[in-house]
Structure 1
Amino acid sequence: MTDHPSTYKGQDCHRPGIQWDDRASLHHVGDGDGVLDAAKGLRNGTFADLVNHMMLMPEHERKDYYIEKLGDREYHASEVEELSKRDDFPRS
């Protein structure tokens, strides 16, 4: 999984495109965020793994979940569906 380098004056911290191997967690919509947000994750893995997991859910259930990617960026059902259709999405 990608992380920023921990070295002093590290180079190449930013890579263009979607980082499919970033850390992410699956959350239930309305779980309250807050200080204990990380503990409320239902499943952890790479961003690609969780996009794939959500796409395996029945379509009517997807709206009840979202993916929180490293850095507190949330991806809800409609956006996850669009991401799964991208040419660069790593299909398993």
Structure 2
Amino acid sequence: MIEESRFYRELRRFATTEPSYSPNCQVIRTVPTDRFNLSAVARRAFGDATETRVILAAAGLSNVDAPLKEQDLVLPTVAYLRYLKEKCGITTAVRTVR
């Protein structure tokens, strides 16, 4: 559980401080249909719908039931997401985008 909270904090810090032109980030625009569908945003960004906790942290949401505002989300690239997970001690595999 400590790893999860550290991962959330690291992702939130990344989303709020990383410049949008950084090679480690990607900017994804959320649309009104994504309001309660975080998995659609995760699928667009990472090619994997199970990465909803990354979207939660980047948007600053406290739980999956909170509505996602229409906004530009600064998210890590797949490679940098893998690095953040290793740094925080989370060992789940990250799928590459095909």
TM-score by length of structure 2 reads 0.30
Structure of higher RCO (CA pairs closer than 8 Å, 6+ residues apart) = 2
Higher-helix-fraction structure: 2
Higher-strand-fraction structure: 1
